[in-house]
Structure 1
Amino acid sequence: MPVWFGDWIKEQRMALNISQSELSDRTGKQIPQSTISMWEQRKNGNPTAQNVRLLVESLGISMNNFPWEHILFKDKYTEARCNQMAERFYLYDLASASSLKTFEGKVYELKGAVGVEKESGEVRHITDLYYRTRSVISNKRLLAKRKNAHDELLKVSGIKKVK
């Protein structure tokens, strides 16, 4: 039976026997207690997809185990954005890519465990590049991206063609 996102948060929080303030602390105070309270009272607008991820993981639940099919949001746009957040693009997934672009604007062609920067020829191990990666491309198709440097690198649903 579907439940509202705020109701689900409250259920999970109560099962862990933690307060709204403690949940806020678990998010590194990125989500204030007052916002959690408003969601639980259904008084606040929809959470961002990033806030859903942050809350779910702060509750100790994997995004892959989040019950998407049973959660109601106030609009379909938020639901679609949140569903896109479900699948992380891992370091080992880079083996399926041909190139990546970093937040510094550098483009690296991937060759096994290394990336070769297109302009300078600089060679970096993919483990050095992963956390700086903004987008991942293979055969002119966007596989994964992250909006901000501190976000998770996430698979793009409905793989998009790039120029």
Structure 2
Amino acid sequence: MDEMIKVIVCQLDNQTYGVDVQHVLSIEEMTSLTPVPKASEFIKGILYLRGDMIPVIDLKERLEIRGQKNASTQRIVIVMLDDVQAGFIVDAATDVIDIETSTIEEAPELLGSIDKTFIQGVAKRENDILILLDLVKVLNFEETNEVKQLEEDLSEAQETN
């Protein structure tokens, strides 16, 4: 029997993406975010959730995907990447599915404008192709450090209040 992985199916523009469920803590409805001055452009703000302050990243902006935003279906996927907690805005989070690892192939060279280092692989399904994102690599070293520093600053500010 083939090994299976569970993925959350997300939409970014008109393409279907998969995110390994091992990293996902929760999926939240889109809500207003507190802006963060001088943060990278794709960091849209801070979400206060169950006592935690979580930096939120627009995944479409980070992956340089152009397209319309549908505020009514947008979700924030809360993830833990190594020791960094962050939220990623997606156009929709629609399903949790099992994928046989044997169906996952290396991403082709020409996969739109998305940097291939962000892609774990491509899984062929009955009706479409699911691009599996490697969220650990979506943020480079400097960006991960920026998010970590933001988390630390927020924690300190929360403790002093």
> TM (normalized to structure 2)?
0.24
> TM (normalized to structure 1)?
0.23
- In proportion to residue count, which structure has more helix? 1
- In proportion to residue count, which structure has more strand? 2
